[in-house]
Amino acid sequence: MEAVTQQIPLEHFLALSAILFSLGIYGVLTRRNAVLILMSVELMLNAASINMVAFAAYASPELFTGMIFAIFIITVAAAEVGLALAIILRVYRNRGTANVDEVSDLKW
Amino acid sequence: MQTGYILLATIAVPLIAAAVLLAVPSRYPNVVRAFAVAVSFALFGLSLYAFFAYQIAQVEQYQFDLRWTWIENIGMLGEEGITLHLGIDGIGAAMVLLTGIVTFAGALISWKIDYRNKDFFILFFVLVAGVFGVFASLDLFFWFFFYELAVLPMYLLIAVWGSSSVFPTFARTKEYSAMKLTLVLVGASVLIFVGIFAVFVEAGLGTFDLPTLYEVEFDEDFQKIVFPLFLIGCGVLAGLWPFHTWSPDGHVAAPTAVSMLHAGVLMKLGAFGIIRLGMQLLPEGAEFWMPALITLGTINVVYGAISAMAQTDFKYMVGYSSVSHMGYVLMGLATMNAVGVNGAVLQMFSHGVMTALMFAMVGVLYDQAHTRDMRAFGGLVKRMPHFVAFFSIAGLASLGLPGLSGFVAEFNIFLGIFRTYPALGALAILGAAITAVYVLRMMAQAFFGPANEKWEHLKDMSRYEYAGGALLIAFMFLMGVYPSPFVDRIADSVLRIPGIG
Amino acid sequence: MTVAQIIFYLIAALAVGGALGVVLARNAVYAALFLILALLAVAGVYILLGSEFLALVQVLIYAGAITVLLLFALMLTRTTDVAESMTGAQWPLAVVVSMLLGGLLIVTVTTSDWPGDADGTITRILFEDLGAALFTQWAVPFEIASLVLFVALVGAIVIAREEEGE
Amino acid sequence: MGMSDAWLLPLLPAAAFVALTLLGPYLPRRGDWIAVGAIGGVFVLTLLIIADFTDALAVQGEAFAGVANSIQWLEVPGHLELRLGIHVDAVTIVMLAVVSFVGLMVQVYSLGYMKGDSRYGWYYAVISLFIASMLALVLADNFLLLYFAWELVGICSYLLIGHYSHLRSATEAAKKAFITTRLGDVGLLIAIILLWRETGTFNIQEVIAAAEAGQIGTEILTASVVLLLLGAMGKSAQFPFHVWLPDAMEGPTPVSALIHAATMVVAGVYLVTRMLPLIELVAGGPELLLAIGLLTVFLSATMGLVMTDIKRVIAYSTINSLGLMFVALGVGAPAAAMVYLFTHAFFKALLFLGAGSVIHATERQDVSQLGGLWSKMPITGVTFAIGALSMAGLPFLAGFWAKDEILVSLLDNRAAFVLVLVTLPLTAMYMTRVLILTFFGEPRDPESHEHAHEGSPFMTVPLILLAALTLVSGFVVFDQVGKAMGFPGGIGEIIFLERAHSFEFDVAVGIGSTLLVALGIATAWFAWVARPSVPARSLALLRPVHDLWANKYYLDDLYQAVIDRVVLSIARVVAWFDRNAVNDTGVDGPAYATRYAGYLMKFQQTGKLPNYALGMVIGVVTLALVAFSLKA
């Protein structure tokens, strides 16, 4: 562990994270293709990770909590993508589409 | 000698019995029956002991005190936040005795249940535990817990063991009745729940303990706002007009023993709640709202009686007469004077025993004849003399015949009402006269007159039904002829309710 | 403006540009490529935050494995050649809502008081320290993470497997 | 056995009731000996009490105000104390004598009359309960016990009228009797409670004292008195409550004799006698009493004239007699009323028991199917004739003296006097008519006439005893007789000490009334013996009047119509309202509304993932905005 001075305020990282997160949200809300939605989710996860790591670097590096969290996020993201793609493939095979707005059996 | 374990036992014994019954294989229905009757006899004994061991005119208001701390010093909860606090005053003692009597009689009457009788008795005992719990609890949290415990098994008991009826102009399925009963009662209990939390927060003591909360002097405006929550919330269970229709339909659909407990005991929980939560906790709110209650109570009495007059179904008639008689209880409570409230509590006991007997007798008839239309019968006295005698005694008690419990209770209520509201008192007495009309019409129609040959096969009561009915009748006579044991206990406690003049 | 700052703004611009590409591109494959760009930029941000290990993992797993997986999925679910809208009907509402959310987040970020050095001093974390922590202090969560991965793997196989007669 | 021990009296038959109810089927002879033994015991004890009473009277003279003894029944400390207690004074003594003696006679008589009845044991149980309640009623020193007993005699009457429960008519009559009297009882109960509200006590003497001291407001007092009268009118079958009594004849005849002639129906008279000081405090109270009595007397005399059922004729004569007692009370002559009550109990019980013998022998009770029984049943015939002529008011029989007493007291009130005089020949006429049609002439139903025979000694001995009393009991009106019996001041003084009254026989009134009675008897003899065609011809002439009387002034029909058309309609409307408005709209309505709301809201479930996601984000943004605004 060593201290480095880069003169970049914490807020900058957080703002970046906020922008990425909002863009991810926008993607999730507008994209029709499930794979593209998944990509937007990845953006949101990354935004969260940036937050974690930034806080860890700036505020409380002692227990590596932020890092560990980021690592777990990546792990979970990997697992999630694997599972989600399996589900998407399954849906596609059954219905011939991967567009989420066409899969709407669970309505009233 | 004064130990709270007796009250704990009245709650624990039925719960343990329910658990034991779970383990009894359902292929031995007679074992189940014998066990259930034995347990309910034990409960009867316990309640009898509690009633007679209760000491009149002691310094402490609540006897058989027992307190087990459950949760404390967490969040808003302070010292003794939620405690299993048991204890009864004279009112509670009378109610505990009533529950014991009706439970025992109900178990005896239920001997004839064949369909899944094990499950029936399990739910039955859970319900009974809840009822005992309400009467004995001195902690708002557990009071409410037991209250819900008593109400909820009712749904299954009616929906599974009940009966659907088709009448010329309308039909009532047991599912409908069970659903309505449960929803209305649970809906009403939401009001109580809100009220309980309002009191808890307003008091700011971090405890649900009732005797502690009784010491608090709540702000008058607060009392006026919160009291209606308890009044309506509990009143619905007591059959308060216009929230009463769950009751006749529920009675009609329910199996016999459930009707007995339901009308005999459960409806008393409501009136008991008005006393325990409403009048004792919020005396000024009670003072403010009682004119409204006595108006509604009068409507209950007259409206219930007139409705009962138009019924041709035994159970509907008894159901509406319950509405009418619970109206007397509400009126008595609303008088806010010692005589009237004393009469209301007496009426709770009296009506409990009397209406339980009525429902038991309707059950005797219905289980054999499979119809409850009183116009279909005639001259039953020839085939079923004991049945007719028992039913008539219940009917005479309900029309307030001296020598039976109804008279003592109603007389006190009338005296109480006349002290404050003479005009309404006259209406109440008129209600008793209407009661005579429908009871005698029913007796003349079904019991006397030329015997209908269609009912040649009807048999008189079985010995279990006989025993259950005789038990109820014994208490009706006891209270009617020698009311002092009841009045002494009740009056002593009534006089300690704040605001009673 | 220090060098680090310049680098940060550069990387941030890349990340935002990549993200915009992901959510706006009309072609799905382009979107995936933009995602790679964004993820690599995030890796750069990690380096700026003094966490080389994470940057490495980010490049390897995210930019490498996950994106490839996504591309595979795109390939396997390609339906028709008919050009269809990539954007759902609720996009105007989504614009408003996500901008609102972003605005709110940025306002929060800028108006709040954050702990830490005002002059932008960060703590750099060394590989050794992190490795030691991961296998001592965080050993149990680490194992659980591996279990999660394993279960996800099995689940993915079970779900995606072609069944008999299908 | 002193007067303060009189509480034992009701307990004896009450114990018999309990024993018979619980053990009846297991006892030899269904336990009738217990019931008869109990009433026998009561009779003996009553004699002892009377002896004690005469002693007390001899010692204390006019200062004697009665003996009281009570126990606490229930108490709400500081608010209410209910006591049960007895009060024995002269009025009580008279009532006790009547109840215990007629009770004993009827119970003995029933041994023969009810023999073989399928509910023999139950009959004796209820009649024991009735006697217990009736004794409690007359002994009561407070309104609570009075009302208690009042209701109990009502229910016993209900049970006994409906004794032949397989008959629809008996059941209906029982119901009618109970409900009609119950309506009056509502008034009584309200009156009792109102008086308690004003005075704080249920004790009759204390209430009267308070009223006389002016402690009760005029309005309350007036209301109480009117309501009290309602109760008395119901029980004593005064107009407009009289309709139940003729129907009550559906019960076994001994019951009619005991309950519906000698004891229960005079409870109203007894109550009014007790409460007379209160009634006289109210302006118009005595006048109301008088009006009710006169109306009842007149209506019953006319209706009795056309009835063909032997028991119903006697029932109307009972209403007539009760009306007369009310009249006497209305003009402030309680002693006359009590004397009439006393003698009436004997000759009316005698009449009913005689009618019972006839019914028992022939199984017919319509006079158009009877006739010529004089030779077959001489004892019944003679005793019945004595009773009938006493009721008619023939000189030197009990009824004559008692009636004369009332007429004398009416002398100051011309209108009432004349009206009562008018009814005298009518009464005499229908009593003679029933006597003639039953015992003389040709038998109209030879078959039943054939089997007719005198009953067992159980039945004839009570008849003879009652007939003997009918012959002599009237003479108690003479002070000398009273003195000879051990009472210091004659009967008037016994009955109402604070209103000492000495009997004066008014020769003119006596002769006048005798002439009128003779006229009635002669008319009856002429119409039904000498010229049997007369009734038929006059019937043709007076058809509308006859119909009016035979249909009981259409009052029963009116009441029935009110019940069927009005009361039951209201009940049905309320029941309909309850089902449709309160339940189906008020309770089910919100349920349906909830369901419909659910139906409407389900459409937000589009099934499309982006919509849900958008919803979530909007929620988050909203919450964030709320948080911001709260922070600001």
Q: Say if C96 is an interface residue toward chain D (CB within 8 Å).
A: no
Average pLDDT over residues D433-441: 85
For tokens 């109960």, the residue is D189
| pLDDT of the residue at D497 | 47
Do the Cβ atoms of B342 and B329 come closer than 8 Å? no
If one looks up domain A10-95 in CATH, what number appears?
1.10.287.3510
Q: What's the pLDDT at D307?
A: 83
Cα distance between residue C139 and residue A39, in whole Å: 30
Q: Mean pLDDT for chain D?
A: 85
Confidence check: pLDDT of D34 > 60: yes
Residues 109-148 of C with CB under 8 A from A: 109-110, 114-126, 129-130, 133-134, 137-138, 141, 145, 148
Mean pLDDT of D455-479: 84
The C-alpha of A89 sits at a distance from chain D's nearest C-alpha, in angstroms, of: 17
Q: Which residues of D touch A108 (CB under 8 A)?
A: 602-603, 605, 607
Q: What is the mean pLDDT of residues D341-352?
A: 89
The mean pLDDT value for D218-227 works out to 90
Q: What is the rounded average pLDDT of the residues D345-354?
A: 90
Sort out which chain A residues have CB atoms less than 8 A from C148's CB and list them: 75-76, 79
**Mean per-residue pLDDT of chain B:** 89
Cβ of D175 within 8 Å of Cβ of B444? The answer is: yes
Q: Copy the structure tokens of residue D7.
A: 């509480």
Closest CA in chain D for residue B500: D79
Cα dihedral sign, D126-D131-D136-D138 = positive
pLDDT given for residue A40 in this prediction: 92
Contact call for A107 and D607, based on CB within 8 A: yes
- Give D486's pLDDT tier (boundaries 50, 70, 90): low
B50/B53 Cα distance (integer angstroms): 5
Res. D466: pLDDT tops 50: yes
Flag whether pLDDT at D494 surpasses 80. no
Contact check, Cβ <8 Å, D75/B487: yes
pLDDT digits (tens, 9 = 90+) for A77-107: 888 888 988 888 888 888 888 888 888 887 8
Query: Which pLDDT belongs to residue B46?
Result: 92
ipTM of the complex: 0.76
Model confidence pLDDT, tens digit, residues B392-404: 999 999 888 888 9
Give chains near D: 3+ CB pairs under 8 A: A, B, C
Beta bridge partners of B97: none
Contact A6 C57 (CB under 8 A): no
In this prediction, residue D6 has a pLDDT band, given cuts at 50, 70 and 90, of confident
In this predicted model, what pLDDT tens digit does every residue of D121-132 receive, in sequence order?
Answer: 888 999 999 999
Average pLDDT of A23-39? 90
pLDDT of residue D475: 79
Q: What per-residue confidence (pLDDT) applies to B1?
A: 42
Mutation to test the B interface, candidates D18, D180, D578, D594, most B Cβ within 10 Å: D578
Contact list, C97 vs chain D (CB under 8 Å): 614, 617-618, 621
Nearest to B378 by CA among B446, B440, B303: B446
- DSSP three-state, residue B166: strand
| pLDDT at C81 > cutoff 70 | no
pLDDT value of position C164: 65
What pLDDT, in 10s, does the model give residues D547-585? 888 888 888 888 888 888 888 888 889 888 888 888 888
Nearest Cα residue in chain D from A22: D617
B319 close to B260: Cβ distance less than 8 angstroms: no
| B145 or C81, greater pLDDT | B145
Contact predicate D119/D29, CB 8 Å: no
Question: Pick from B403, B425, B441: which is nearest to D152 by CB?
Answer: B403
Residues A50-65 as b/e (b if ≥16 CB within 10 A, e otherwise) read: bbbbbbbbbbebeebb
Q: Does B332 touch chain D (CB under 8 A)?
A: no
* C3 has pLDDT over 50: yes
Work out the angle at residue D142's Cα, subtended by the Cα atoms of residues D141 and D147, and round it to the nearest 5 degrees: 120
Cβ–Cβ gap A22/C98 under 8 Å: yes
pLDDT level of residue B18 (50, 70, 90 thresholds): very high
Provide mean pLDDT across the span D180-191: 90
The Cα-based distances of B310 to B303, B306, B320, D173 in angstroms read 11, 7, 10, 21
Task: Look up the pTM and report it.
Answer: 0.83
Residue pair D137/D13 in contact by the 8 Å Cβ criterion: no
Contact A93 C66 (CB under 8 A): no
Burial of B460 (0-12, 13-18, 19+ CB in 10 A): middle
Q: What is the mean pLDDT of residues D200-224?
A: 88
pLDDT confidence bin for B62, thresholds 50/70/90: confident
B450 at interface of D, judged by CB pairs closer than 8 A: yes
Contact A29 D613 (CB under 8 A): yes
Taking the CA of residue B417 as centre, how many other CA atoms within 13 Å lie in the half-sphere pointing to its CB? Answer: 29
Judge whether B214 and B280 are in contact, CB under 8 Å.
Answer: yes
Q: Which two tokens stand for residue D585?
A: 């709209």
